């Protein structure tokens, strides 16, 4: 503590001397003045606050609050978070190869990467982490657990596991390794003459892997009639890989994206550099509200050049460029430095956020631009698909099942009774009645948006002196009756989610993707469109 105070005092003296050389109307004077104030405040809190203060924790709170006031994408990356940053940029990290989430009091394994340390050691989805290296993990945050699980390859971590269906906890020793997650987890044929390529993140080699997948589809299927390129849920990644992915489908020398920021010397224009894999094969691109950043560059470029048809829901709306800056002690600042503009001239950045999520911008408040063939497209608030499809998971009952992890828990119980299932192509879940019984045993309930509004109405009317109890109760009874029917009305959607979760337990990520393709409404629409040349061309011509 004395050393920290000593350094704080030295920094204060330095800033006082530097500030004296600036005039009060100089911007740098304001910067140095406020840094001095911050340093003095930090010193006073450390010296005189009634309780002991962790200096690192206190500073982290201040840093997070500062960058949070800018935009959701400017972040401080501490030394302990470097492995997570490496995974986002390179698609690999040092760890055990498992995805986890907090469910109840414990962090629970939700997915395994095939052949990695966790899989080899015998971990299963549904396993709860009770302790790590003998330290109690009750109530721990998943990030804290993951920071421990990630470490140098070859080192060992001991986990105490509680497994559903077993009476006693047990220990597992896992040897950490380098986990490499493929950014193109699956490609293949989904219908007669229709190819499919999924890209989950824009990490290194994304462009090369997409190009190889498209080449393989063409070589193995000489009569290929079209390709479905799936960017749903892809949150982006490296800008240069977005350019490389675009280059698979558009010619060499075409502008992909321009970046513009405060530092004019950093403004750049990125164009395709290589020969394309295919310029003519009909193309559909699937996007949704979780397609962001590099995904929006690629889908927007495909739309701007009329190279393919976009299907799905409006994308996230992240038109900002981040660069990382080293700030000492193996820490980094991921800093928004520019906005990006795609070939039509539009920027798809949302102008306002609430709780880190973009606020919807009506079309009449967005500026129109033109694609190469003259179609009208709009800026701001994400990329709007050419064919909009309502997403089924917006149903309140489906949200409730997912938020309460009930499908996950049911599948965990299901797998205890089934050592194996048929291949994805032949497997069908046929025990919906058993699932309904499971929900009854768990006393499943969920709040609809209507119930939330009624609760608010009741509170407001009571405050204002209105007696609406009877009317509200009558409406609540109608909602309860509708909620009982909602389970059966959404049977197909829920069955699809159960089948995907079951497939992931036996056949990992590839199995989940294959099962999802079988029941996917957006895939069906894409296949129909690619089989209808006239409709496909009319979409591109607006």
User: Which structural domain range is residue 42 located in?
Assistant: 2-53
Nearest of 171, 225, 167, 172 to residue 195 by alpha carbon: 225
Position 78 in a domain: no
Confidence of residue 15 (pLDDT cuts 50, 70, 90): very low
Position 530 in a domain: no
Confidence of residue 82 (pLDDT cuts 50, 70, 90): low
Mark whether 369 and 398 lie in a shared domain: no
Query: pLDDT, tens digit, for every residue of 133-174?
Result: 999 999 988 888 888 888 788 999 999 999 999 999 999 999
Position 153 in a domain: yes
Mark whether 372 and 399 lie in a shared domain: no
As a whole-number percent, the residues of the chain with pLDDT over 70 amount to 92
Mark whether 377 and 280 lie in a shared domain: yes
Query: pLDDT, tens digit, for every residue of 32-77?
Result: 888 899 889 888 888 888 888 888 888 888 888 888 888 777 888 7
- Counting every residue written for the chain, the total comes to 542
Nearest of 243, 177, 167 to residue 211 by alpha carbon: 243
Mark whether 261 and 228 lie in a shared domain: yes
In whole angstroms, how far apart are CA 407 and each of 210, 303, 464? 32, 37, 42
Dihedral angle over CA of 374, 376, 379, 385, nearest 10: -110
How many structural domains comprise the chain? 4
pLDDT at 421 over 80: yes
CATH number at residue 125: 2.30.42.10
Residue-wise burial string across 429-463, b where 16 or more C-beta atoms lie within 10 A, e elsewhere = beeeeebeebbeeeeeebebeebeebeeebeeeee
In terms of pLDDT, which residue wins out, 240 or 94?
240
Mark whether 242 and 371 lie in a shared domain: yes
Q: Which of 158, 180, 202 is the last residue of a domain?
A: 180
The pLDDT, as a whole number, for residue 25 is 56
Asked if residues 272 and 252 have their Cβ atoms less than 8 Å apart, the reply is yes
The pLDDT, as a whole number, for residue 521 is 87
The pLDDT, as a whole number, for residue 21 is 46
Task: Give kind and range of the element (H or E) at residue 203.
Answer: none
Mark whether 149 and 270 lie in a shared domain: no
304 is catalytic: yes
Which has the minimum average pLDDT: 305-309, 351-355, 414-418? 351-355
Output the average pLDDT for the chain: 87
Position 529 in a domain: no
The pLDDT, as a whole number, for residue 356 is 64
**Residue indicated by tokens 């009774």:** 417
In whole angstroms, how far apart are CA 291 and each of 21, 301, 403? 49, 14, 21
pLDDT at 440 over 70: yes
Span 1-29, average pLDDT: 51
Mark whether 282 and 133 lie in a shared domain: no
Asked if residues 507 and 514 have their Cβ atoms less than 8 Å apart, the reply is yes
Span 228-249, average pLDDT: 95
Choice among 100, 140, 291, 293 that is catalytic: 293
Nearest of 363, 349, 357 to residue 297 by alpha carbon: 349
Choice among 100, 127, 291, 318 that is catalytic: 318
pLDDT at 6 over 50: no
Q: Which residues contact 230 (CB under 8 A, 6 or more apart)?
A: 196, 197, 198, 199, 286
Q: Which of 180, 199, 229 is the last residue of a domain?
A: 180
Mark whether 149 and 198 lie in a shared domain: no
The pLDDT, as a whole number, for residue 496 is 93
Helices (H), 109-250: 117-121, 142-149, 206-220, 239-247
Span 332-346, average pLDDT: 90
Position 528 in a domain: no
Mark whether 300 and 326 lie in a shared domain: yes
End-to-end Cα separation, the chain, in angstroms: 67
pLDDT at 120 over 80: yes
Choice among 230, 304, 386, 496 that is catalytic: 304
Position 122 in a domain: yes
The pLDDT, as a whole number, for residue 7 is 47
Position 539 in a domain: no
Distance CA 249, CA 252 (A): 10
Distance CA 509, CA 488 (A): 28
Span 220-243, average pLDDT: 95
The pLDDT, as a whole number, for residue 20 is 45
What is the 3-state composition of the chain as percent helix, strand, coil, each rounded to the nearest 5?
A: 45, 20, 35
CA 3 to chain centre: 41
Dihedral angle over CA of 353, 355, 358, 360, nearest 10: -90
Query: pLDDT, tens digit, for every residue of 352-383?
Result: 767 667 777 888 888 999 999 999 999 988 99
Position 141 in a domain: yes
């Amino acid at each position: 503590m004395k050393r920290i105070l000593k350094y704080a005092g030295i920094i204060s003296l330095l800033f006082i001397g530097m500030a004296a050389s600036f005039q009060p109307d100089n911007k740098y004077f304001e910067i140095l003045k406020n840094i001095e104030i911050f340093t003095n405040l930090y010193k006073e809190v450390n010296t005189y606050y009634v309780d002991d203060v962790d200096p690192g924790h206190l500073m982290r709170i201040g840093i997070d609050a500062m960058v949070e006031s800018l935009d959701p994408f400017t972040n401080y990356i501490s030394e302990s978070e470097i492995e997570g940053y490496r995974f986002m940029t390179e698609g690999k990290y040092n760890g055990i190869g498992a995805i986890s989430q907090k469910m109840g009091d414990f962090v629970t394994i939700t997915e395994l990467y095939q052949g990695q340390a966790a899989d080899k050691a015998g971990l299963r989805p549904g396993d709860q982490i009770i302790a790590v290296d003998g330290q109690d993990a009750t109530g721990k945050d998943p990030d804290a657990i993951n920071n421990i699980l990630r470490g140098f390859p070859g080192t060992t971590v001991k986990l105490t596991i509680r497994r559903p269906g077993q009476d006693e906890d047990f220990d597992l020793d896992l040897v950490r390794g380098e986990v490499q997650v493929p950014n193109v987890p699956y490609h293949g044929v989904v219908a007669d003459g229709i190819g499919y390529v999924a890209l989950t993140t824009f990490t290194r080699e994304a462009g090369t892997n997409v190009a190889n997948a498209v080449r393989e589809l063409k070589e193995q299927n000489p009569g290929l009639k079209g390709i479905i390129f799936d960017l749903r849920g892809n949150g982006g990644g490296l800008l240069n890989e977005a350019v490389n992915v675009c280059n698979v489908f558009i010619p060499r020398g075409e502008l992909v994206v321009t970046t513009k920021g405060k530092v004019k010397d950093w403004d750049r224009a990125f164009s395709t550099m290589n020969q394309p894999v295919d310029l003519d094969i009909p193309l559909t691109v699937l996007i949704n509200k979780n397609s962001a950043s590099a995904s929006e560059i690629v889908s927007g470029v495909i739309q701007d050049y009329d190279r393919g048809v976009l299907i799905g829901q409006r994308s996230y709306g992240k038109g900002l460029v981040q660069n990382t800056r080293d700030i000492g002690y193996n820490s980094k600042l991921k800093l928004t430095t520019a906005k990006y503009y795609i070939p039509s001239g539009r920027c798809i950045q949302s102008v306002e956020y609430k709780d880190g999520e973009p606020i919807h911008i009506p079309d009449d408040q967005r500026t129109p631009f033109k694609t190469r063939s003259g179609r009208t497209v709009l800026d701001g608030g994400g990329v709007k698909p050419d064919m909009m499809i309502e997403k089924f998971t917006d149903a309140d009952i489906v949200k409730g099942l997912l938020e309460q992890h009930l499908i996950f828990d049911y599948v965990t119980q299901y797998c205890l009774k089934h050592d194996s299932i048929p291949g994805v192509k032949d497997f069908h879940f046929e025990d919906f009645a058993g699932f309904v019984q499971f929900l009854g045993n768990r006393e499943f309930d969920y709040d609809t948006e209507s119930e939330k509004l009624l609760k608010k109405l009741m509170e407001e009317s009571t405050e204002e002196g209105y007696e609406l109890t009877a009317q509200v109760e009558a409406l609540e009874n109608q909602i309860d009756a509708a909620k009982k029917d909602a389970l059966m009305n959404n049977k197909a959607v829920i069955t699809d989610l159960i089948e995907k979760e079951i497939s992931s337990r036996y056949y990992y990520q590839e199995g989940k993707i294959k099962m999802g393709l079988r029941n996917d409404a957006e895939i069906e629409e894409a296949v129909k469109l690619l089989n209808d040349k006239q409709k496909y061309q009319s979409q591109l011509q607006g």
